[in-house]
Structure 1
């Protein structure tokens, strides 16, 4: 068995750790950035924000519905969030793990996202990195504005 692929992405935010952390677990905020694409429309955002709880995010995209399932393993506000992730809700056997760590820095914070992906998905590494980078960009737009 091959070692997993470890993707790590860091981003600074001009917002408090609490503001950045809370956006991940609040359905009204999550629908604005989590798996949201420019051409898509959110169809469902259901978040059971507790350890062992699940989340389902479904976006209607030009190519069809894109579903994403999460299962929370750790919720340590405002510094650490760990969840299992499956890109196709119908196939829960393909979980990967995402860890989000948030550290206060100056008036804002730095978020480090680590995604552990099974080596069989190596061909999707660049696409996965691009997806998380886009998500973190959307999160920045949300938390760094006064109307977010």
Structure 2
């Protein structure tokens, strides 16, 4: 996993030993996503509903917090743009851009979290490291 400190916000890349289609599904299938996505922020996910299409809603309830958002762009299996927020932690929605590219070992995932305050970048990078470790185990 690499972090680019020159990007406004957070930029993280990681290689996964799964095809782009499988990695894309892990972001858009509620049963798979509930096992890893945003678990660091909300605790274990107890309920997740998503409609993975532009304008589709994303809602989750975790052991500690609830979150909500909207899919802005969905281009299988290459790109997802999602606005997501956890009201108990911060007001407003954060924008996430997920890009998936074929890689000789499977896929290269690039995640950009736009507009992240500098004082939260280390903590947020750590949260994504844990989530991606969990995702790698699932895949």
Question: Could you tell me the TM-score, scaled by structure 1's length?
Answer: 0.80
Q: Which has the higher contact order (CA 8 A, sep 6+)?
A: 1
Shift of 1:53: 0.8
- Across the two proteins, how many residue pairs are aligned to each other? 132
Whether contact under 8 Å (2:16, 2:105) holds in the other structure is no
2:84 counterpart SS class:
strand
Q: Deviations over 1:85-123 (max 9, x none)?
A: 2122797x51121000011011401000000025xx332
Higher Rg of the two aligned structures: 1
In structure 2, what is the equivalent of residue 146 of structure 1?
none
- Tell me how far apart the structure 2 counterparts of residues 130 and 41 of structure 1 sit (CA, whole Å): 17
- Tell me how far apart the structure 1 counterparts of residues 19 and 101 of structure 2 sit (CA, whole Å): 9
- Tell me how far apart the structure 2 counterparts of residues 24 and 138 of structure 1 sit (CA, whole Å): 13
Residue 129 in 1 paired to residue 132 in 2? no
Whether contact under 8 Å (1:71, 1:83) holds in the other structure is yes
Q: Deviations over 1:106-145 (max 9, x none)?
A: 1401000000025xx33222111111121111111111xx
Question: Could you tell me the TM-score, scaled by structure 2's length?
Answer: 0.85
- Tell me how far apart the structure 2 counterparts of residues 114 and 28 of structure 1 sit (CA, whole Å): 23
Q: What 5-or-longer segments of structure 1 have no aligned partner?
A: 144-148
The root-mean-square deviation of aligned C-alpha atoms, in Å, is 2.2
In structure 1, what is the equivalent of residue 53 of structure 2?
50
1:32 counterpart SS class:
coil
Q: What 5-or-longer segments of structure 2 have no aligned partner?
A: 1-6
